[in-house]
Structure 1
Amino acid sequence: MATINRIDEQQLWPWAMAFAAVMSHGSFTAAANALGVSKALLSKQVQQLERALGTQLLYRTTRRLNLTEAGKVYLAHCQDWQLRMQAANQALQEHGQTVAGHLRLTVPTSFGGVFMAKALMDFREQYPHVTVELDLSTTPRDLEADGYDLAIRANLAPPERLVSRPLALVYDWLLATPAFLAKYPPLTHPEQLTRLPCIINMHFAQPQRWELSRSGELYVAEVSAPYQANDYGLLRNFALQGAGVARLPSYLAAADVENHRLQRVLPEYQLHGQAMYMIYPQRLPQPAKVRALVDFLLSWFAKPEQVKMWE
């Protein structure tokens, strides 16, 4: 390490980039041809880098180049420097330019149906040269394989190669029509749910097991279900028709509660929250249109008028 300290970092940079180029192209000869320099110069630069670092980076044979363990570590950092330089160059090129292009998003059906029309229209007011394609689906898409720029997902651990940003914590409510609830004694405890017809979501792992909490204490109700479905919109319609007690995201039912079409059941008890994430491929450089959308959605969903729909 003392040797490195005596070397000017401005000298290390071209040597490190020479090393990265050699490994990228697979040989000194191919790298020299691609860069328009001599093979001897590249070889000398890599040797100077190894002396400066005080360690061997390559095993050289007549047929191929193999990285040492130190070489693998150092190359990873060199490649990261290259990506960051590319990102810096792109950011500079895009500075002051119009954000434009086509964006492909995939979002859960009910969440997208409630929020995304307004969100994306507001986004295009800021960025009118961006066009948007929106896929609403309960099936998680492979963003990279299917060519999507961004997804919103619920309670899903993203693959390591994707960036994940928390967007919201959404709570479900238990709901029924006032006319339906008038047929039964007032509900005061979760165990009473077992005596009522309920409408369950087959998408859940244990759809008939409803867990509620109050003051840190957990209660479990094993409900009966004359109707089962895997779509929140259909569950809501069943509830509106008086079919039973439904479990719905607060954002989907807030307007119905406000207009007295539905009534909250056991509102003093809380169901588990559902974390919503914004997920997108990790790219360096990240396209300006994606950066703009990410920043916009984080800001848009943090506004009070959105937050009140899932609290």
Structure 2
Amino acid sequence: MRTNQHMGLMPYMAVFAKVVELGSFSAAALQLGLTASAVSRQVATLEKALAVKLLERTTRSLRLSEAGAEVYARCCEMVEAGRSVMAVADRFVASPQGLVRLSAPKAFGRKLISPHIAEFLGLYPEVDVQLMLIDRPMDLIGDGLDLMIRITDTPPPGLAARPLLDVYHLLCASPAYLERAGHPAHPHDLARHSCIYLGETPGDNRWHLRHGASGEQVSVSVRGRFVSNHSEARLDAVLDDLGIGCLPFFTAAQALKAERVVEVLPQWRYETSYFGKAWMLYPPNRYLPPKCRVLIDFLAARVAAH
């Protein structure tokens, strides 16, 4: 018998096992929500497909044939396996558990995701998290991820997306530096200041700014004695009075609130490809595992409170 025939007969096997368990067609029909004639037809179909007699029927009782007894034992194993599958599903639906593989851009993940993981693990002791901090675009399926965070204007098609935070950059300096070097009044003034920039590509020392009210665009080449491709390192340099740094707002937020740094040229927006919204991306699956759902909800609440 071919495999697809086996698969087609599995419902009949389950009905047959229930008939034997309860001792009658009518009792099995009542429990299964079928008519007695429908149950009888299904058992007859199974007997015909197997080409063996399974039940000896009398007016008062049913008796298993020799083949029927062995088939019943195997059908019971199948039914029990089905119960085990349902138990696994119920366990995963009922309580979050298992490993969640999550990727995030380096600066965003280090500042806004990593600090909250210990709290999450404490709340969900049966969930483990693998956090990958990487700036290159990741592929949810190809890289074997459960979730990923991407900063973009528009989330990619074919994925479910939950917005987490608006991401933008600003220029900051310490009060001590500005007292010493003066406040720039226009982007062109930056050329005379010590500036702290990324330095990953040759063009990173050319800053592009747009005026919020007029839309005027200005590009200016900057220089400085310290360059770093990590936003927290640039923030440290700003706090050490080394100059004016370009920083994501989420990196500078606490220092700004504490007035340890101040925004430079606040009416101008520093333009970079690292802007838009931070999106939590995941498969568009109505049966999203609880382990993923609770992590999404948890991180969305923590990031929003930043």
TM range (shorter): 0.5 to 0.7
Cα distance in 1 between the residues matched to 2:293 and 2:88: 11
Cα distance in 2 between the residues matched to 1:263 and 1:179: 10
Partner of 1:293: 295
The one-letter code of the counterpart of 2:294 is: A
- Residue 218 (structure 1) aligned with residue 216 (structure 2): yes
Unmatched segments (≥5 aa) in structure 1 = 1-28, 38-88, 307-311
The one-letter code of the counterpart of 2:300 is: L
Runs of 4+ displaced beyond 4 Å = 29-33, 89-92, 156-159, 203-206
Question: Helix, strand or coil: the match of 2:169?
Answer: strand
Tell me the alpha carbon deviations over residues 223-249 of structure 1, each in whole angstroms, 9 at most, x when there is no partner: 322343322122223323333211101
Partner of 2:276: 274
Q: Deviation of residue 100 (structure 1)?
A: 1.0
Tell me the alpha carbon deviations over residues 49-107 of structure 1, each in whole angstroms, 9 at most, x when there is no partner: xxxxxxxxxxxxxxxxxxxxxxxxxxxxxxxxxxxxxxxx9998358722111111112
Q: Deviation of residue 30 (structure 1)?
A: 6.3
Tell me the alpha carbon deviations over residues 176-231 of structure 1, each in whole angstroms, 9 at most, x when there is no partner: 22232223343222222232232222458953132232224233231322343322
Question: Helix, strand or coil: the match of 2:189?
Answer: helix
Task: Tell me, yes or no, if the aligned pair for 1:202 and 1:230 is still in contact at 8 Å.
Answer: yes
Task: Tell me, yes or no, if the aligned pair for 1:162 and 1:282 is still in contact at 8 Å.
Answer: yes
Task: Tell me, yes or no, if the aligned pair for 1:162 and 1:279 is still in contact at 8 Å.
Answer: yes
The one-letter code of the counterpart of 2:117 is: L
The one-letter code of the counterpart of 1:210 is: H
- Residue 127 (structure 1) aligned with residue 124 (structure 2): yes
Instruction: Tell me the matched-pair count.
Output: 225
Task: Tell me, yes or no, if the aligned pair for 1:174 and 1:246 is still in contact at 8 Å.
Answer: yes
The one-letter code of the counterpart of 1:299 is: A
Unmatched segments (≥5 aa) in structure 2 = 11-85
Cα distance in 2 between the residues matched to 1:96 and 1:149: 16
Q: 182, 194, 197: which is aligned to 2:194?
A: 197
CA RMSD of aligned residues (A): 3.2
Partner of 2:146: 149
Work out which of the two has the higher radius of gyration on C-alpha atoms and give 1 or 2. Answer: 2
1:95 and 1:243, CA in 2 relative to 1: closer, same or farther beyond 3 A?
Answer: closer
Partner of 1:171: 168
* Superposition TM-score, scaled by structure 1 size: 0.61
Cα distance in 2 between the residues matched to 1:155 and 1:139: 13
Partner of 1:234: 233
- After TM superposition, list the pairs within 5 Å mapping 1:57-206 onto structure 2: 93=90, 97-155=94-152, 159-202=156-199
* Superposition TM-score, scaled by structure 2 size: 0.62
Cα distance in 2 between the residues matched to 1:204 and 1:158: 26
Task: Tell me, yes or no, if the aligned pair for 1:200 and 1:247 is still in contact at 8 Å.
Answer: yes
Partner of 1:12: none
Task: Tell me, yes or no, if the aligned pair for 1:190 and 1:219 is still in contact at 8 Å.
Answer: no
1:138 and 1:203, CA in 2 relative to 1: closer, same or farther beyond 3 A?
Answer: farther
Task: Tell me, yes or no, if the aligned pair for 1:210 and 1:221 is still in contact at 8 Å.
Answer: yes
- Residue 261 (structure 1) aligned with residue 260 (structure 2): yes
Q: Percent identity?
A: 28
Task: Tell me, yes or no, if the aligned pair for 1:190 and 1:212 is still in contact at 8 Å.
Answer: no
Partner of 1:35: 8
